[in-house]
Amino acid sequence: MQQVATEPAGEEPSLAERAYRTIRDRLVMLEIRPGEPINEDQLAQSLGVGRTPVREALKRLQYERLITTYPRRGTFATEVNITDLAHISEVRQELEPLAAALAARRATAADRAALTAALGELERADSPQRDAAELMRLDLQVHRAIYAATHNPYLEDTLVRHDNLATRIWCLFIDRLSDMAGHVGEHGPLIEAVAAGDADKAAQLAHGHVEGFERAIRAAI
């Protein structure tokens, strides 16, 4: 399975952190389907780790609303509820422009290098070899790179969680969306604005992107 290479560079992650990232992205990309039971032993075996790192990861994922535990029934991937779209969009419409503006002001050389690499991927987004799942991973990569460039861990954590929930909705309707490459390609001007340090333009483009996402989903329902 292809990984979403979006985490900031730094210390080698712990087993629990690696388990968390992998299970999280499987849930976000609906590789673990909504409502599917979560089997700790199977996850531990597939990840090549013990049950303890998996249990630690699952605790975080429950807090992030990606899994749900029911007494005497077990743990399941959270269902995707389209009624959550409006609530998620309310948060993102306020915080995505803020993150884009902060990233434009605070991005380091390493941040700009990560964004430039993502821009190169975006320029190949129209390739017929790119399937919808690859485009969604690229979308996640760009968003997480911008959030990391804010250098505000609280804002980054909040936006990653809400973008994950939005992406699950997006993946649910992916077969009904006609212009995935166009939506993902919208990130190009946003990355350029961030890299250029143009905070106002970056904020404006981020707001428009979130609004466009909600319109596209509602049109597909």
What would the pLDDT profile of 43-100 be if each residue is shown by its tens digit?
999 999 999 999 999 999 999 999 999 998 999 999 998 889 999 999 999 999 999 9
Q: Is the pLDDT of residue 178 over 70?
A: no
Q: What is the pLDDT of residue 121?
A: 82
Q: Let me know if domain 84-220 sits in CATH 3.40.30.10.
A: no
b/e for 178-212, b at 16 or more Cβ within 10 A? eebbebbbbbbbbbbbbbeebbebbbbbbbebbee
Indicate the domain borders of the chain: 15-77, 84-220
Q: Looking at the domain covering 15-77, what would its CATH class be?
A: mainly alpha
Give me the percent of the chain exceeding a pLDDT of 90: 67
- Model confidence at 180: pLDDT above 80: no
Percent of the chain with pLDDT over 70: 90
Question: What's the pLDDT score for residue 134?
Answer: 83
Q: Closest Cα partner for 6 from 217, 206, 187, 205? A: 187
The tokens describing 101, both together, are 């503006």
pLDDT of 179 reads 65
In this prediction the pTM is 0.87
pLDDT of residue 135: 82
pLDDT of residue 123: 77
If one counts every other C-beta atom within 10 angstroms of the C-beta of residue 15, the result is 16
pLDDT-based confidence at 1, cuts 50/70/90?
very low
Q: Kindly state the average pLDDT of the residues 179-192.
A: 80
**65: region left, alpha or beta (phi > 0 left; psi from -120 to 50 alpha):** left
Residue 91: exposure state from Cβ atoms within 10 A (0-12, 13-18, ≥19)? middle
pLDDT at 5: 45
5 Cβ contact partners less than 8 Å away, ≥ 6 residues apart:
141
Query: What 3-state class would DSSP assign to 26?
Result: helix
Residue 119 banded pLDDT, cuts 50, 70, 90: confident
Q: What 3-state class would DSSP assign to 91?
A: helix
Phi/psi at 136 (nearest 5 deg)? Answer: -65, -40
* Exposure of 71 in the CB half-sphere (CA atoms within 13 A): 0
Considering only 25-34, 100-109, 123-132, which range has the smallest mean pLDDT? 123-132
State mean pLDDT over 100-117: 95
